[in-house]
């Protein structure tokens, strides 16, 4: 595996944090969508984006093994929904260092 951390500037997610890291797609159309949504970031063949930069709608609804999985054509985003998700995760990490425990979705998000 060539990737070991999220390539989004300011994101500290690394391989092994119990978060999905997804490498940039090889499909040129999908790769272009990723680049457009993420802005002008530097990428390489092994660049990856962590699950925190994907809206919840980009994940499969049900999996037999209970794990999260991104949809095949998922596109990362720096949208308000994603920033709110990151904000809730950041609060939890600061309080108990748990990557799996998020504040409830109904909590207010101030970004």
Q: Quick: pLDDT tens for 87-111.
A: 555 544 444 444 444 444 444 444 3
Q: Which token pair is 92?
A: 């939890």
Flag whether the pTM goes above 0.85.
no
The end-to-end CA distance of the chain, in Å, is 34
SS3 assignment, position 50: strand
Provide the pLDDT for residue 89: 53
pLDDT in tens, 47-102: 899 888 888 889 887 777 777 888 989 999 875 555 555 555 554 444 444 444 44
């Amino acid at each position: 595996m060539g990737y070991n951390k999220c390539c989004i500037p300011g994101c500290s997610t690394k391989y092994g944090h119990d978060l999905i890291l997804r490498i940039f797609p090889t499909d040129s159309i999908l790769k272009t969508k990723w680049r457009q949504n993420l802005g002008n970031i530097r990428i390489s063949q092994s660049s990856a984006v962590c699950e925190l930069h994907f809206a919840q709608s980009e994940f499969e609804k049900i999996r037999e093994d209970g794990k999260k999985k991104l949809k095949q054509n998922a596109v990362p985003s720096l949208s308000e929904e994603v920033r709110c998700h990151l904000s809730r995760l950041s609060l939890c990490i600061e309080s108990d260092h748990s990557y799996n425990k998020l504040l409830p979705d109904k909590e207010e998000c101030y970004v």
